[in-house]
Structures are given as structure tokens and as C-alpha cells.
Structure 1
């Protein structure tokens, strides 16, 4: 189960990941690389890879880079954050070897990505599933709040402006809510977290959220913050604030997060199992080795947490730099392996379902 008792570990991991995102590299000079005893499922190759994008997967990528470089002394992997939108743009421009993104390539982004690859299409490889937490700052409210999709939509569109609003009270019978103004925080940069959270609201509360899913936050009003860290810090420092963020940032900031309403009107707690249950009904809608996923927001199961994202590694199916291809394949193969996926639970993420993990491994093996 994912709970706030993991906050200390998540904080330490997030701090390392944020350092990685800020500096663009982590060569792990404090560790002693041992190429003679590589970790299981890490096959070494030499060279340098540069990647950028999703901050949602930064905690996972930080640990993966350290593990790979500990085993492979001649490999250097630089991962910068910057957000999914920036990562996709850099991939299209050919300045990075692969991009991390919290949303698959859109129909408008695909042509430029394909052109960058020259001899083959760009494909989406799901790698890091994780929940989106709705964190809030209400010091006098001790129990986790229930928030339906409709109520959240009204909050994030400015239709509900105070915490003692009747809609919030209806979601939380018996809870004493403060007469306190609401300050919403959203991403100011292009973000897959924004895309997935706005998609949840658009699918579950269309009448109250008349916008399409978008990597650029589509609703008016509120306070924009750069990166998930900016949202978490804004919520933490503002009484009455609320924002959407990856779970590790909520736990790092010691923010409570809500139980969210699903299509069946159930309020679902954010736990590992509940995230897995929602992911279990996701469908692969890409073709060939493009493993783009589509979530089932009609899922009414009482144990399926509905605000979920999956980060993708966007890479060329073919046309990769031949000198970098062995390292690219070996590193991504490690990410998709059991040794790469199993530790994700300790970092606030959820491992890929086994069948999808197998598909990703096969797709990585086919890169050329």
C-alpha cells in the first residue's frame, strides 16, 4: 500500500531526482562502479546517452541511472527534467536520444518525431505507471477528504471558491470544513501530469469541466507553477491551497491527499493495489511496437483509483545512432526488466503489469 509513512524515503528520492533534473546528469562519483559484477539484467555498453522530459519519472530515472552506472563504468546517462512538453520538443529536434513523457505522442507531434527518426517511426514505450495525488493544505482537517470528479472540476474552474461549499460538504458528511478561500495550483509548463489530470476531469465530469485533455492546463484562473515541485511548494506554503501532483511530491511535502471519485460514484483511496486495479483495464491502442495506452475511465470498481498517469520513453523504432544503439537498448532493457520495475513500488510508483512489461521488453529488443 502507498501511504504517507513512505514520506521520508520519498523525500530522499525526490531530492536526488530533483538534483538530477537540475544538473542534467548524475555520474554517481560517490559510488564505486564494479563492471566485473554487473547487477542482474544489466548488460553493459559504453558511451553516453542524453534524455529529458517528464519530471514525474525523475525519481525512478535517478535510481535507474545510478544502478546502471554503478554496474557499467564506461556508460554515462544524462537525464534532465524540464517537463514532458519540452522533452518531446527536444526529441523532435534531435538534441536528445530519447524523451520521457507523461503522455504518448499526439497526432500533431507524431510527424515531427517520425521525421527526426528518418528511417522509422517514433514509438511510445510505457515505463513508469504512477498515481496523481490531489494534495491540499487544510491543517485543521485531520481525516482525508473525499472529492468527486464534479467537485474537483468546479474547484479547478473557479466555480467553487471556499472550502465550506455545499458540494464539498456533500462529499464529506460529518467533516467540519473551514470557511477558507480556495487557491488552486496547476502546472504552468507543458506537462503530462496536466494532460492526465485534465483527462480524468474531462471524462468523469464533462458537464463541469468543458475542456479537452491538454498538456497545457486548459482551465482559467488559479496559480500556475513550474514543475511538480513548484505545485507542491505552493500548496505547502498556502493555507487553503489545492493542487495535483505525483505522489512522491505530496509525500515529500507531507501533504494530505484526497480520495477521488470514480465513474461509479465511489471514493477511492490512493493505494498501490487500487492503482494496479485501474491500470489492469487499460488498453494498448498503438500499432506494432508502439505501445500507447488508453485508460478506461468508465471503470466503476470501488477499488480502482482513477487519476493515473504512465510515463513513456519516446524513442525511434529505427534510425537510431548506431554508435549509441547498444547502450540505448541495454539501458531501456534494464528499465523494463523485473530488476528495474520491482523497486518502483518503494518510490511511490507502480510496476508495469506483467503482460505489458513483456511487450515493452520485446519492443526495446527490436530497436534499430
Structure 2
């Protein structure tokens, strides 16, 4: 009898321990949207589940698909790299929870260092005016003196998978801006091959395409307006100055993953997408000239520097200034948004708690835990705005 009572006490104590270590409420939320966000969400939602017990299901079908699903109330949240221009839902809040560079990725096996491209050259490649890698305009970008920037970095230790992991991250000042260690000039002389350029672009409704189009138009405004005169569009082919459907060297693909796969599979290929798609496929990425005349690599520090010069709108979105001289700024960078329902939408309160917790985690933990993915942590005034937007999720 004594043995039975002892076993019973042990079972009850064990059960109590299990219950006390489990979340009081473990649920799941469903989202859809940007493929731009997918590399970060895929790794970070696993950490979120470990830390909270909640599950995040996310389908990456493009920013346009995310906005459509959100409008139709099919998801608890959506992710988009661009804001609505029409068909606004009755209840909507933008939460800028992470940022990242849009990289120009390419496949040139004989070129062993990162190439340099001016804003005008990028526009002419992606509109079909430049069709060969040995074009004189590409050569001029890569046989010259270039200005470069080096940022201060530090070692940062965070918990990933329950273990302490130390990684290198940018040093930020009190305003959340990356600190420049030095600026310099160097002479480059990169030989580009006699190789046809094959351009891969997004065919789906894409916030990445829209933000890329804003750069092409904004950075070439003024004297080079003719290079990219059209307004940016989520459908890339609608914003190009030429009808690219008639060009044999343009290949469309749905989603960032297929764009990157296309570039990887074609020598001479070039495309655009969040930088981790290039890194994961072992593709080269170009240094892009900014309005300060510097050639900057697509990384988190350059992204933070560039977006720090933008305007924070009342709805939580960020408007970039492509003509503003921002030292160290990578000019094809974008903040990306969680689309969420505020209290007025009268959604399930338990689901809303998870949505708020997930977006707080995206804002404060995900880029910090996985800096190798190339996303920039939101800081400074934009961080404060994001927190106030997330607070409306009730």
C-alpha cells in the first residue's frame, strides 16, 4: 500500500511538472503572402513554437496573394513587401516587422568577385537594352575607381534551438543606425565574359517586384527618366519600359525560389530577390551604386542605413527616398509588413494574442537569431512605430 501511495504521489508530481512547463494555451495561426519573407519565417517559426508552444502556418504565394487572402478574411495575418493601392480591407494595420535588401543575383562562373552595377545599368539590363555581359556600360561600371563603405561589427550571442550561438552583426548607434567604420576608394578591373544575359523576373503579383520597380524609377529619375519611366507595379512586366514578352532572353517565374533556381540553372542568368535566395543558391550578388556615389553590397547594415533615411507614414509603411545621399545605404532595400487586424475587426481574441506575439517575435527576435539570412532588424523610430501598430492587435 505504501508503495502504491508513493507511486501515485510521483505520478501526480510528474503530471504537475509537465503542466507547469507547458503553455497555458497553445494554438495556431495561419498566414500567407510574400516569398520575400519565406526564408526568415521558415526558420523562425520553429523557434517561436519552441518558445511559446504556438504554431505558425505560412504559405508563400507572393505579396499579392497575401493581400488578397487578407482582404477575403482567409488568414489570421498576411505578409507583404508593398502596401495596398486599391481594394483596401475595412480593417487593416501595417506592422513593419523586418527589412531586407533585394539582391541582384547572377550566374557568372568565370567571375570570382562581386561585380559593380550603377542604377542606370541595372535599369537597362532589366528592360532589355543591354543583352550581353561584355556590354560597354557594364564594363565601365567594373573598370573604374569605386567608393566603398565598411561597417563596424560585433559578436552577438543568442539562443537558437535551445543553444547559445554567437554570430557577427552590425554595431548600431543610439538611434538604431549602423556605424560606419571607414570609407575608401579602390580601383576595380573585372573582366566580364562574352555571354548572353538571360533575365529572370517574377510573373506573380509580387511586393519584391514592386519595390524593385520603385528603385528603378526613383534612382533614375531626372536625367535618366527615360530608362524607367513607368510607375512600379506588383506585376513586373507591367512596369518595364519595353514589352519584354517579345524578348527571347527574358524568362518569367512565379516566386523568388523559382527566380533564383532559374538563375542558378542558366550561365549568364540574372534576377532579383531577397539576398538569402542568392546565398542559398551560391549565386553572385552585385554591389549597387547609391545616391552618395558608393557601391554597396546587399546586407543588413546597408539596408538599415538606407531605410533610416525614409519617411515613416501614419499607417506604418515606409516611403524610401532613392535620390537622398545616404552614406552606406544599400539602395534596393525594403521594409516588409505584417498585415494584421485591429480590435475593430472583432476577431477571435485568443487567435489575436498569438498574432500579436508572433509579430513581436518577428520584430525583436527573428533577424537577431538568424543574421546569416540577411534580414535587418527594425530599429529606431520605425521600431517604435511597429510596436504601436502591434499594440492595436486585440
TM-score normalised by the chain length of structure 2:
0.76
Identify the residue that residue 149 of structure 1 maps to in structure 2: 119
Aligned pair 1:334/2:361, yes or no? Answer: yes
Match of 1:63, SS state, is helix
Q: Distance in 2 between matches of 1:97 and 1:84?
A: 15
How far apart are 1:223 and its partner, in Å?
0.9
Q: Distance in 1 between matches of 2:328 and 2:276?
A: 21
Mapped contact 1:262–1:306 kept (Cα < 8 A): yes
Identify the residue that residue 379 of structure 2 maps to in structure 1: 353
Give matches, 1:266-277, under 5 Å: 266-277=294-305
How far apart are 1:145 and its partner, in Å?
1.1
Identify the residue that residue 216 of structure 1 maps to in structure 2: 235
Q: Deviations over 1:129-168 (max 9, x none)?
A: 0001101111112221111111111111111111111111
Give matches, 1:20-99, under 5 Å: 36=20, 45-73=25-53, 75-99=54-78
How far apart are 1:94 and its partner, in Å?
0.9
Identify the residue that residue 283 of structure 1 maps to in structure 2: 311
Identify the residue that residue 98 of structure 2 maps to in structure 1: 128
Mapped contact 2:341–2:347 kept (Cα < 8 A): no
| Alignment: residue pair count | 317
Aligned pair 1:305/2:333, yes or no? Answer: no
Identify the residue that residue 166 of structure 1 maps to in structure 2: 136
Mapped contact 1:163–1:240 kept (Cα < 8 A): yes
Mapped contact 2:116–2:287 kept (Cα < 8 A): yes
1:363–1:164 Cα change, 3 Å:
same
Match of 2:99, SS state, is strand
Q: Distance in 2 between matches of 1:44 and 1:247?
A: 38
Identify the residue that residue 296 of structure 1 maps to in structure 2: 321
Q: Distance in 2 between matches of 1:307 and 1:156?
A: 14
Structure 1, gaps ≥5 residues long:
1-33, 115-120
Match of 2:64, SS state, is helix
Mapped contact 2:309–2:326 kept (Cα < 8 A): no
Q: Distance in 2 between matches of 1:196 and 1:87?
A: 16
Mapped contact 1:35–1:72 kept (Cα < 8 A): no
Match of 2:227, SS state, is coil
Identify the residue that residue 366 of structure 1 maps to in structure 2: 392
CA RMSD of aligned residues (A): 1.9
Of 78, 87, 92 in structure 2, the residue corresponding to residue 109 of structure 1 is 87
Identify the residue that residue 25 of structure 1 maps to in structure 2: none
How far apart are 1:47 and its partner, in Å?
2.8
TM-score normalised by the chain length of structure 1:
0.81
Q: Distance in 2 between matches of 1:36 and 1:201?
A: 54
Mapped contact 2:104–2:286 kept (Cα < 8 A): yes
Q: Distance in 2 between matches of 1:130 and 1:143?
A: 22
How far apart are 1:98 and its partner, in Å?
1.0
Structure 2, gaps ≥5 residues long:
1-17, 144-188, 245-249
Identify the residue that residue 186 of structure 2 maps to in structure 1: none
